[in-house]
Amino acid sequence: MTQNKSILSWLDEKIELVKPDNIVWIDGSEAQIEELRKIACESGELTKLNQEVLPDCYLHRTAVNDVARVEGRTFICTPTKEEAGPTNNWMEPSEAYKMLYEIAKDSYKGRTMYIIPYSMGPVGSEFSKVGIEITDSIYVVLNMVIMTRVGKDVLDFLGDSEDWIRGFHSRCEINEEKRYICQFPQDNTIISVNSGYGGNVLLGKKCFALRIASYLGKNEGWMAEHMLILGIENPKGEVKYVCAAFPSACGKTNLAMLIPPEYYKKRGYKVWCVGDDISWIRIGEDGRLYAINPENGFFGVAPGTNAKSNPNALEATRKGTIFTNVMYKPEDGTVWWEGLDKNPPANGIDWKGNPWTPDCGVPGAHPNSRFTAPAKNCPCISSEFENPQGVPISAIVFGGRRAKLAPLVYQSRDWKHGVFVGSAMASETTAAASGAVGVVRRDPMAMLPFCGYNMADYWQHWFDMGEKLGDKAPKIFNVNWFRKDEDGNFMWPGFGDNLRVLEWIIKRCDDEVGAKETAIGYLPNPSDIDLEGIEGVTEESLASILDVDKELWKTEADGIEEFYSKFGDRLPQGIREQIDTLKNNLK
Ligand code: GTP
Ligand code: SPV
Ligand code: MN
């Protein structure tokens, strides 16, 4: 498919290493995809679902020890440990290569090597970058075909350039003890062994579009962020775009596909989804920030997705979708997960492949079970989705899961303060990564597991971008949909009602509404959040999720400082100044 020497010689080395029985180039054609689905169904790797209800949809179960990203086994391999920084696992590159090649040696014997040429971003856009992933998994191929732009046009666009990201995946034996996800930012290389789960093996996603791309962005003057992109259309037909960074399983897909509450719909508000997980962001010719979604599909959390919480996502999964680790319904050949509806099957097959009944006491779908759905299926996909120039960004929003402390929304005083707000983010852990769930940890800009270099330098890069943007910089906000009351109930209904908060954010950007200045930033006057038609929220209860408890914030400031101390002298001066300001404001 290509004469590109850098690709061919890299492939020769890998073929020599892993010794595949067969080699198949992926051209992304419908005929080839169909053939691969057939092979995967025969081997049991995929189960074909009811094609009348769910055309071109399939189910896949991963190994039970391989259901989420493994942050403890993910490494940034740079010449020095300082380059990776205190928040990343680090391995010296030559040692890492040696160990990984030892593990991967001969691992494709009896298997086929699939070579996937793909583009992150519309093929040919100046935002876009090319990758080649080799894999021994049809599941990976079929997911990459949904999640990225795959095919020969990518290679034609690349020509004989050496500017492409090398991605090498081998399932090996799915041995947890030998599972490694390694990024080599200086070599544009990713190696992933002994896993078959999403974020560990769809190398275009977190490994490339965030870890490698964040490093490239730092050197080339742009940004790769764990952010959704949505457009909010007002009754006049004007669309404003917002990027929002929340940690894994903290609501990006849901916010990106939000359905306005009835009262907003009636007035003509619409929400358009440009992206649900990753943004590549550049300064445009007019000096403003522009973002594209480098992906071509959604790898979304299944549990909790339903006709009320996210009908757009649900609709997107009705064709051409791969479901991973959800429950199978033998009665009609469809799928089910917790929170889909109140009708679990009387007899299901759970995500482990075991018989399941509603009273058996274990979940039918894994909490991190996922759907891989083509973006074009989404009813609210933005008309700008394929725009090679991206969309202009009016506001940047940070947020996380905080049962206490963080108010529903607040605005930073300026870009520098906004960078501080992002750097100080914390959130309760979720099932998206292996390990304990519900523990509050610091997760700057929702990038803790995804920043490909020293986080201190990453914050400095944010400051530098702000310098270049000057007064064209988007306004920066923080939100928290997850505040809980004494009884552990969410205090804010969330989902569609989050538009009420977005409306305030847009009004702030347009100087159309006032705010209260507090120790942590600007907070809304409760009467400025439109509660018309909302259920379960009054102006009083709203006021209580908009409070700033100075004592709690003092403890928080200590926690933030302790976290920063890991970075030593590398911590940007701008961050130091901000934490001092916060502490002064809290006195
Ligand atoms: P990743 O794909 O892992 O990056 O996750 P994500 O950030 O896209 O999260 P997603 O939108 O899939 O939401 C994860 C979970 O949070 C789901 O169980 C949702 O039901 C829940 N959730 C999303 N938005 C809200 C909200 O506004 N309020 C509440 N209470 N829960 C929400
Ligand atoms: C996340 O964990 O943030 C995801 C899913 O979006 S994964 O692709 O596994 O990283
Ligand atoms: Mn994510």
**Ordered structural domains, the chain, with CATH:** 5-45+70-221 (3.40.449.10), 225-296+383-585 (3.90.228.20), 297-375 (2.170.8.10)
Report in angstroms the alpha-carbon separations of 556 from 349, 440, 560, 586.
45, 11, 6, 11
Report in angstroms the alpha-carbon separations of 308 from 62, 261, 328.
28, 11, 22
Å from CA of 1 to ligand 1 middle: 40
Ligand 1-lining residues (CB < 6 angstroms): 246, 248-254, 276-277, 300-301, 303-304, 309, 432, 481-482, 490, 494-495, 498
pLDDT at 332: 97
Q: Are residues 446 and 247 in contact, defined by beta-carbon separation less than 8 angstroms? A: yes
Residue ranges of E strands in 121-179: 129-135, 149-150, 164-170
Q: Are residues 258 and 495 in contact, defined by beta-carbon separation less than 8 angstroms? A: yes
> pTM for this one?
0.98
Å from CA of 253 to ligand 1 middle: 7
Query: In this structure, what are the phi and psi dihedrals at residue 384, rounded to the nearest 5 degrees?
Result: -95, 5
Residue with CA nearest ligand 1 atom 10: 251
Å from CA of 206 to ligand 2 middle: 7
Catalytic annotation, residues: 250
Low-confidence stretches of the chain (pLDDT beneath 70): none
**Number of CB atoms found within 10 A of residue 466's CB:** 18
CA distance 270 to 264: 8
Å from CA of 228 to ligand 3 middle: 9
List beta partners, residue 65. none
Give the strands of the sheet with 297-301, arranged side by side: 47-48, 58-60, 322-324, 370-374, 297-301
Which of 469, 434, 461 is CA-nearest to residue 445? 461
pLDDT at 368: 98
State whether the beta carbon of 225 lies less than 6 angstroms from ligand 2: no
Q: Are residues 253 and 313 in contact, defined by beta-carbon separation less than 8 angstroms? A: yes
State whether the beta carbon of 497 lies less than 6 angstroms from ligand 2: no
pLDDT at 387: 98
State whether the beta carbon of 432 lies less than 6 angstroms from ligand 2: yes
Parallel, antiparallel, or unpaired: how do β-strands 22-25 and 112-120 relate? Answer: parallel
State whether the beta carbon of 205 lies less than 6 angstroms from ligand 2: yes
Atom of ligand 2 nearest to the CA of 68: 9
Contacts of 196 (CB under 8 A, 6+ apart): 62, 63, 66, 137, 139, 140, 171, 174
pLDDT at 206: 98
pLDDT at 423: 98
Atom of ligand 1 nearest to the CA of 247: 7
CA distance 211 to 458: 12
Around ion ligand 3, which residues have CB less than 5 A away? 248, 277
State whether the beta carbon of 364 lies less than 6 angstroms from ligand 2: no
Q: 78: number of CA atoms within 13 Å, CB side? A: 19
Query: In this structure, what are the phi and psi dihedrals at residue 409, rounded to the nearest 5 degrees?
Result: -155, 145
Which of 551, 561, 560, 558 is CA-nearest to residue 587? 551
DSSP state of 433: B
Å from CA of 251 to ligand 1 middle: 3
Residue with CA nearest ligand 2 atom 5: 199
